[in-house]
Structure 1
């Protein structure tokens, strides 16, 4: 079932305002656990973890964010 433009806008707002902060807390907790588990992580490994986690959150929600910044395609032009 495809989401309407309005539903995608609402869900994108919920994801950005609620889901993303929760994900940031989980990501920071994970990286802190990695730092505590290993004495010293190499810089490139740490960088890869941060970049990977930074990109990973958006992949499941790609369909929600696609086209949200555009004008509503279902709206009638009333100029």
Structure 2
């Protein structure tokens, strides 16, 4: 996958995917009053950081310049 496509996918995940995931997580946690406290805590931990691991490959290196050099910032005139 090209660097530019990964940037687009990362933006899509953050703008569209993450809010959908938050709604799902809140729906699950609305039922947490029925869980024992230990299970409720583990559910918070899994829902809080569990989404990062499958999507880590998308976000690695996104803040860096394009390794192929196609995404160079414009130079200022002297």
TM-score interval, normalised by the smaller of the two chains: 0.7 to 0.9
Equivalent position of 1:11 in the other structure = 9
Q: What is the TM-score with the length of structure 1 in the denominator?
A: 0.78
Q: What is the TM-score with the length of structure 2 in the denominator?
A: 0.79
Out of 58-67 and 8-17, give the one that drifted further: 58-67
Provide structure 1 residue ranges, at least 5 long, that are not aligned to the other structure. none
Runs of 4+ in 1 over 2 A off after TM superposition: 44-48, 76-79
Aligned-residue CA RMSD in angstroms? 2.0
Equivalent position of 1:49 in the other structure = 43
Equivalent position of 1:60 in the other structure = 54
The structure showing larger relative contact order (alpha-carbon pairs under 8 Å, at least 6 residues apart) is 1
Please point out which of 51, 55, 73 is paired with 2:67. Answer: 73
Equivalent position of 2:27 in the other structure = 29
1:18-45 CA deviation, whole Å, 9 max, x = no partner?
Answer: 000000000010011232xx2x632x43
Q: What is the CA–CA distance in structure 2 between the aligned matches of 1:54 and 1:70, rounded to whole Å? A: 26
Determine if contact 2:32/2:40 at 8 Å carries over to the other structure. Answer: no
Provide structure 2 residue ranges, at least 5 long, that are not aligned to the other structure. none
